[in-house]
Amino acid sequence: MTAAAAAPAAPPRTAMLEVADLSITVRRGADRKPILASVSLTCAKGEIVGLVGESGSGKSMTLRTAVGLTPEKADVSGQVQVSGRDVLGASPKELAEVRSRTASMIFQDPRAHINPFQRIGTFLTEGLRLHQGRSKAEATRMAAALLAEVGLPDPDRHLRQYPHELSGGMLQRVMIAAALAGEPELLLADEPTTALDVTTQAEIMSILLRLRRERGLSIVLVTHDLDLAVACCDRIHVMYAGSIVEAASATELARAPQHPYTAALFAARPAPDRAELRAVSGRPLGLYEVERGCAFAPRCPRAVDVCHDVAPRTRENDGHRVTCHLEESAEAGQGAAEASGTLTRPLTPLTKGERS
């Protein structure tokens, strides 16, 4: 009897976005303000990766840097690659190509990113004519098809409308249609549902999940909504003060958050079975305010002396990355959860089938 042949190893998934050791310091006169420190993350083809954290934690800055939108007068180090192309060293022409054909962004407030005096049709066909050399008739047909794809019921009428004639949810669909016009492989979604009501949020997220399935899109989702990230993402990175403090699969993060900050975020979620809201105590710090030690130390219920003096190292175990001094990091997370409130409401990540 011959030994069974070993199963062939699964081919490595192509990384659509690779950020490695990204640090940014903004210069203001003689002042130097670090805003990102050693951020590393990847998003593979067809994957949805979440970036979660409070306002000012560096989520949006990380996302914008992925398409070369760095602040003026900034020192940027590290590596950013989109579909294998270097972004930080790219020329303006190369960056324009990446933004028009490979990676598109969706922003939180669609009204802030669309000319109120321009018809929806003009807004959508402009890029198709400019970047793809389509004729007016062809661009109009394509724009109508894109509006239909994002679930707008009467595309021809919407093309003739102005932004003020559409609701926030409809306008966000227009923005998604615009983002799809260049047939990107990577969608960078910066709080795409934050300004919307709960029902519309769900509709927009189901459109994004469908697009991922039908077009094989990779999506990086920036959100402060941990429930949303757990439900929709394959993997989640938690950011605090310009750094990633924990990264794991959505299922693993919901099952056993290991960093005290992640645990405190979970504990701060509103729950139907308790009346009071629990906030993470204290004020979030910017990276530039941290002189030494762990940035979370002033708010951390598990902080010990060393936390205030020495920055913690990052440890990785089975794909779960945590930056914390506490060795028993699962206990660290649980201890923090107990100190900030209990994890009373179970999180329910979508199954792989439901997510796709």
Cα separation values, 17 from 49, 62, 163, 221, Å: 10, 11, 32, 13
Rounded Cα–Cα distance for residues 148 and 241 (Å):
40
| Cβ closest to ligand SF4, residue 46 vs residue 312 | 312
Rounded Cα–Cα distance for residues 146 and 325 (Å):
49
Which residue is associated with the tokens 């794909």? 319
Give me the least distance between CB of 166 and ligand SF4, in Å please: 44
Give me the least distance between CB of 296 and ligand SF4, in Å please: 4
| Cβ closest to ligand SF4, residue 197 vs residue 305 | 305
| Cβ closest to ligand SF4, residue 152 vs residue 324 | 324
| Cβ closest to ligand SF4, residue 49 vs residue 264 | 264
DSSP-derived letter for residue 181 is T
Give me the least distance between CB of 317 and ligand SF4, in Å please: 15
Give me the least distance between CB of 325 and ligand SF4, in Å please: 4
| Cβ closest to ligand SF4, residue 145 vs residue 306 | 306
Give me the least distance between CB of 112 and ligand SF4, in Å please: 35
Q: Write the DSSP string, 233-268.
A: -SEEEEEETTEEEEEEEHHHHHH---SHHHHHHHHT
| Cβ closest to ligand SF4, residue 147 vs residue 239 | 239
Q: Write the DSSP string, 39-106.
A: EEEEEETT-EEEEE-STTSSHHHHHHHTTT-PPSSEEEEEEEEETTEESTT--HHHHHHIIIIIEEEE
The two three-digit tokens of residue 231, written as one number: 């439900």
- Which run of H or of E encompasses 322? strand 320-323
User: Taking the mean position of all CA atoms in its chain, how far away is CA 106?
Assistant: 11
* Buried b or exposed e, range 143-181, using 16+ CB within 10 angstroms: bbebbebbbbeebeebbeeebeebeebbbbbbbbbbbbb
| Cβ closest to ligand SF4, residue 183 vs residue 331 | 331
Give me the least distance between CB of 16 and ligand SF4, in Å please: 31
| Cβ closest to ligand SF4, residue 253 vs residue 332 | 332
Give me the least distance between CB of 301 and ligand SF4, in Å please: 8
Give me the least distance between CB of 25 and ligand SF4, in Å please: 22
Neighbouring residues of 80: CB distance < 8 A, sequence distance ≥ 6: 17, 18, 19, 20, 22, 65, 66, 86, 87, 88
Q: What residues make contact with ligand SF4 under the rule CB under 6 A?
A: 259-260, 294, 296-297, 300, 302-303, 307, 312, 324-326, 332
Contact present, 208 and 281 (Cβ < 8 Å): no
| Cβ closest to ligand SF4, residue 19 vs residue 300 | 300
Give me the least distance between CB of 280 and ligand SF4, in Å please: 12
Contact present, 14 and 216 (Cβ < 8 Å): no
Rounded Cα–Cα distance for residues 333 and 29 (Å):
41
